[in-house]
Amino acid sequence: MNNSIPGFIDPHKLAKTGQALQDKVAVADLNRAKKLLSSESGEIKYQLVFTTDAEGYCVISGKLGSILTVRCQRCLKEFQQSIESDFVVSPVNDDAGAKALPSSYEAVYTADGKLYPIELIEDELILALPIVPLHEFDSPECVALTKAQEAGSDFANPFRVLQDINVNKNSQQAEDK
Ligand SMILES: [Zn+2]
């Protein structure tokens, strides 16, 4: 899929003129992030605004938004998860540069002062993804499927073990009373 995301950019140059990049990137083009999703469909809307703060730091204020397909780790069914992320980063060349940054900025490493925006977008997307995707608690769909699985025999669900432990603990407590 084509997208107009630029290759390497010079963030300092864009900051000097207060430029912004905004567009969409296909999930299928994000090799690391797509491995964490259950479908490669969908796209990420992004906005990166380049500015220079009062102390002369180059600042990139970013926003991401997407609706992605993930797999619920309770019922193992796919669902659509809305992802929104806001971040503020400052480009640095090395660890010394990162250490010198004010704490309000996250460091983003550049190669010879150049930044590859798709890498930044992908890193921030990965940070925004849920570590364990789950339907909302008590979602009727999720509950129904879990019950169906319980009725079935050998459905491999790692969370069943935990559930069983909890059930046993609860019934033990009930007996103790
Ligand atoms: Zn579920």
Residue ranges of domains in the chain: 11-128, 140-176
Distance 77 CA to ligand 1 centre (A): 6
**Which pLDDT band, with edges at 50, 70 and 90, does 141 fall under?**
confident
Query: Tokens 């129904």, residue?
Result: 144
pLDDT of residue 53: 96
Digit-coded pLDDT (tens) for 19-54: 999 999 999 999 999 999 999 999 999 999 999 999
Residues 82, 105: Cα–Cα separation, whole Å: 25
Q: Within 25-103, where are the H helices?
A: 31-34, 95-99
Distance 54 CA to ligand 1 centre (A): 47
Res 140 pLDDT > 90: no
Res 161 pLDDT > 70: no
Distance 129 CA to ligand 1 centre (A): 16
pLDDT of residue 20: 96
Token couple for 17: 């003129």
Digit-coded pLDDT (tens) for 85-138: 999 999 999 999 999 999 999 999 999 889 999 999 999 999 999 999 999 888
The pocket of ion ligand 1, defined by CB under 5 A, consists of 72, 74-75, 135, 142
pLDDT of residue 158: 54
For 7-11, 34-38, 51-55, 172-176, which range has the lowest pLDDT when averaged over its residues?
172-176
Res 172 pLDDT > 90: no
pLDDT of residue 6: 72
Q: Check if the beta carbon of residue 48 is closer than 8 Å to that of residue 117.
A: yes
pLDDT of residue 1: 38
pLDDT of residue 24: 95
Alpha-carbon torsion (128, 132, 138, 141), positive or negative: positive
Distance 34 CA to ligand 1 centre (A): 20
**Which pLDDT band, with edges at 50, 70 and 90, does 7 fall under?**
confident
| Cβ neighbours around 138 below 10 Å, total | 7
